[in-house]
Chains A and B, each alone.
Chain A
Amino acid sequence: AQSVTQLDSHVSVSEGTPVLLRCNYSSSYSPSLFWYVQHPNKGLQLLLKYTSAATLVKGINGFEAEFKKSETSFHLTKPSAHMSDAAEYFCVVSDRDSGYSTLTFGKGTMLLVSP
């Protein structure tokens, strides 16, 4: 069985400071991991995904995430927050190697960015 834990329900940063959103996963297989972002009253947009290639994954809008198997983590980072980054972020795991794979979503982390 697969599961995802997002360690913080809310993270507050100031504009221009680094962002760290934490995610730990549990998986029976070699997982794929995703980060999605949801702006208010919008659908979910893919930020980046890890699929067993490079462990450091770069995504859109300056975000990146590092897959660490030993720590079962996939934390999302950005060097400098922008006001437009304020949104809810979901860490997602998918791990079936055969048959049909489905996504398991974390509970989400709300990122608040202050001027």
Chain B
Amino acid sequence: DARVTQTPRDKVTEMGQEVTMRCQPILGHNTVFWYRQTMMQGLELLAYFRNRAPLDDSGMPKDRFSAEMPDATLATLKIQPSEPRDSAVYFCASGPGTGRTDTQYFGPGTRLTVL
């Protein structure tokens, strides 16, 4: 049963520290999405990639967030420096494409707490 995996599942850090979240998409999927979920804003799209190339990262604060896909089996989301307002659950999703009918498959999320 193919699944998206994310590490770590939980992360508690101090304000100002660097945070790196990792995602392994389902093998064969060529699109990867990063979302953030908070009580106030719900689910927000931060960035997405197709064939490892960034298509759109307009949802991401550029000054502190960066997203990369070093290879087809790994996507990373970094926050440097982290701030308390970054506390949220970060989800990675992968899919077979970016067409209107394509399903996105979500990982279990990384719960980030910035103190």
Contact = CB atoms under 8 A, between A and B. Distances in A.
Interface of A: 29-32, 34, 36, 41-46, 49, 51-52, 90, 94-97, 100-103, 105-108
A101 B106 contact: no
Interface stretch (B11-19, B65-73, B97-105): B97-105
B100 A96 contact: yes
Interface in B88-103: 91, 93, 98-103
Contacts of A44: 91, 93, 106
Contacts of B27: none
Contact of A94 (B48, B56, B100, B105): B100
Nearest to B98: A100
21 contacts: A32-B100, A43-B4, A46-B103, A49-B101, A49-B103, A51-B101, A90-B43, A95-B100, A96-B100, A97-B100, A100-B55, A100-B56, A100-B98, A101-B98, A101-B102, A102-B45, A102-B98, A103-B45, A103-B104, A105-B42, A105-B43
B107 interface: yes
A101 B99 contact: yes
B106 A45 contact: yes
Dominant SS among interface residues on chain B: strand
Given A90-B43, A100-B98, 13 more contacts: A30-B100, A34-B103, A45-B106, A46-B103, A49-B103, A94-B100, A94-B102, A100-B48, A101-B99, A102-B33, A102-B98, A105-B42, A108-B42
Q: Which of B33, B42, B101, B102 has the most CB of A within 10 A?
A: B101
Nearest to A90: B43
A43 B42 CA distance: 14
Contacts of A49: 101, 103
Contacts of A108: 42
A101 B102 CA distance: 9
